[in-house]
């Protein structure tokens, strides 16, 4: 009955999960699925420096702020890891380099499950990986496996200890064994000496292994520190470069604003000086014209008086009693009227400002009309008319659509020349003058 109950066990074993599949013979691996640091350190351990430099050059990779020749090995591995994660097809070049360097994929015929992978990963991380592998093979019950290990041990013995002295080990002869055999106590002493020697050798080997382990840990910690320091320097350099670019851009903007402000100030100063010079020139020109007109009138008056004097001298003198009082008064009124017809022109600032924008022909005509107005404000060619809406203001014609505005000054012998204006702007001028 017990045997019958145990019979279904093979069927249960057959229903177990199928063994894991074998890896591809080409050795293709999903490198893009690793994290950036995982893939970077794998490339650092698997590839030579010249190989990583060649891939960076062939793929056209670069890091801002660094020349391609100035990149370190860790920086190149980081660039390659980023590129493979972004473009998984790039991993084929790395796998091809591994096949050329190491040959076919190792352990490709083994089916490794999760536990086996964990043990294998822990094995390769250990400093005693070789001893653990040899131990596992020697403990295998298959004698064929043990036979494979023995040549490896002979090779390791030659590598570490050199060839045997005297051409190789020799078995002692029976006579020698008899002569050297001193009884059980002698054999015990020899065995104890050999055991002590073996213990010493094991202790030395263990000390060497411990020293190698510590050295490897120190190298790994140093490498990690260098990697962190390099990444920190890289981040600091990138930040410094960004800040330098911001400072340079701000300096350029400030320089542009300063240059624009200086140009504006120079333009304003030049424009103001030019305006003041033009206004002064116009004022001086007006005064010159006024003085020339006065001089001309004085000369005419002088000539007229000289002619009258000559005429009076040539005529017979009339008796004083023959001239009546009405004639004397008439002569005095004519002279007073001739003197009062002259008006002194006062060119206002408004007049000089209004000259801007008119051509020189209109400007000369304005001064001409102003001079004529000063000589005789009732001259028919002036066509002087009152300005509607502003008592005391008048306008005279300068051109078809151009008018000259004036008014009598506070002094009786003065006339204020106000503005040179377009005829269509008269209403606007009246409105603005009322609000002043």
Predicted local distance difference test score (pLDDT) of residue 89: 92
Distance CA 129, CA 433 (A): 108
- Residues whose CB is less than 8 angstroms from the CB of residue 133 and which lie 6 or more positions away in sequence, other chains included: 123
Which is more confidently placed, 309 or 250? Answer: 250
- Residues whose CB is less than 8 angstroms from the CB of residue 347 and which lie 6 or more positions away in sequence, other chains included: 282, 283, 286, 287, 290, 370, 417
Distance CA 121, CA 170 (A): 43
Q: Is the pLDDT of residue 7 over 70?
A: no
- H/E stretch holding 123 reads helix 114-125
Q: Is the pLDDT of residue 389 over 70?
A: yes
pLDDT > 70 fraction of the chain, expressed in percent and rounded: 79
Pairing of strands 414-422, 344-347: parallel
**230 close to 74: Cβ distance less than 8 angstroms:** yes
Q: Is the pLDDT of residue 191 over 80?
A: no
Which is more confidently placed, 233 or 156? Answer: 233
In SS3 terms, 139-155 reads as CCCCHHHHHHHHHHHHH
Mean pLDDT of the chain: 77
In 3D space, the residue among 89, 94, 87 whose CA is nearest the CA of residue 42 turns out to be 94
Predicted local distance difference test score (pLDDT) of residue 196: 82
Going by pLDDT thresholds of 50, 70 and 90, the confidence category of residue 59 is: very high
Q: Is the pLDDT of residue 329 over 50?
A: no
In SS3 terms, 328-381 reads as HHHHHHHHHHHHHCCCEEEECHHHHHHCCCCCHHHHHHHHHHHHHHHHCCCCHH
Reported as a single tens digit per residue, the pLDDT across 13-51 is 445 666 667 778 777 888 888 898 888 888 888 889 999
Which is more confidently placed, 424 or 143? Answer: 424
Predicted local distance difference test score (pLDDT) of residue 77: 92
Predicted local distance difference test score (pLDDT) of residue 4: 39
Distance CA 423, CA 405 (A): 11
Reported as a single tens digit per residue, the pLDDT across 104-150 is 887 777 777 777 777 777 777 666 777 777 777 777 787 877 788 78
């Amino acid at each position: 009955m017990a045997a019958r109950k145990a019979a279904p066990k093979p069927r249960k074993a057959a229903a177990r999960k199928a063994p894991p599949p074998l890896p591809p013979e080409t050795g293709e691996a999903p490198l893009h699925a690793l994290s950036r640091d995982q893939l970077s350190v794998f490339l650092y351990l698997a590839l030579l420096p010249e190989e990583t430099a060649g891939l960076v050059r062939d793929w056209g990779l670069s890091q801002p702020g660094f020349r391609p020749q100035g990149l370190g090995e860790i920086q190149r591995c980081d660039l390659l890891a980023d590129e493979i994660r972004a473009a998984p097809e790039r991993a084929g070049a790395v796998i091809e380099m591994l096949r050329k360097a190491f040959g076919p994929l190792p352990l490709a015929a083994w089916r490794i499950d999760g536990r086996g992978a964990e043990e294998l990963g822990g094995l390769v991380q250990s400093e005693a990986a070789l001893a653990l592998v040899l131990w596992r093979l020697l403990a295998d019950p298959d004698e064929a496996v043990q036979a494979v290990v023995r040549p490896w041990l002979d090779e390791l013995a030659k590598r570490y200890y050199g060839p045997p002295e005297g051409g190789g080990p020799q078995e002692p002869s029976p006579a020698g064994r008899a002569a050297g055999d001193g009884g059980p106590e002698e054999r015990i002493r020899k065995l104890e000496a050999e055991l002590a020697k073996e213990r010493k050798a094991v202790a030395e080997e263990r000390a060497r292994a411990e020293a190698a382990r510590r050295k490897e840990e120190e190298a790994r910690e140093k490498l990690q520190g260098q990697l962190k320091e390099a990444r920190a320097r890289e981040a600091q350099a990138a930040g410094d470069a960004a800040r330098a670019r911001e400072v340079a851009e701000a300096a350029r903007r400030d320089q542009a604003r300063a240059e624009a402000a200086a140009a504006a100030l120079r333009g304003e100063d030049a424009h103001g000086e030019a305006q003041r010079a033009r206004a002064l020139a116009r004022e001086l020109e007006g005064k010159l014209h006024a003085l020339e007109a006065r001089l001309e009138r004085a000369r005419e008056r002088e000539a007229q008086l000289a002619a009258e004097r000559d005429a009076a001298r040539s005529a017979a003198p009339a008796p004083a009693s023959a001239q009546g009082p009405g004639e004397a008064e008439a002569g005095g009124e004519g002279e007073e009227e001739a003197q009062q017809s002259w008006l002194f022109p006062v060119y206002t600032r408004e007049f000089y400002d209004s000259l801007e924008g008119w051509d020189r022909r209109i400007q000369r005509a304005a001064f001409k009309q102003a001079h004529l107005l000063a000589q005789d404000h009732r001259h028919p060619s002036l066509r002087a008319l009152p300005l509607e809406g502003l008592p005391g203001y008048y306008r005279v014609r300068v051109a078809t659509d151009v008018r000259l505005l004036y008014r009598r000054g506070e002094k009786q012998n003065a006339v204020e020349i106000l503005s040179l204006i377009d005829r269509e702007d008269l209403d606007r001028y009246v409105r603005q003058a009322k609000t002043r």
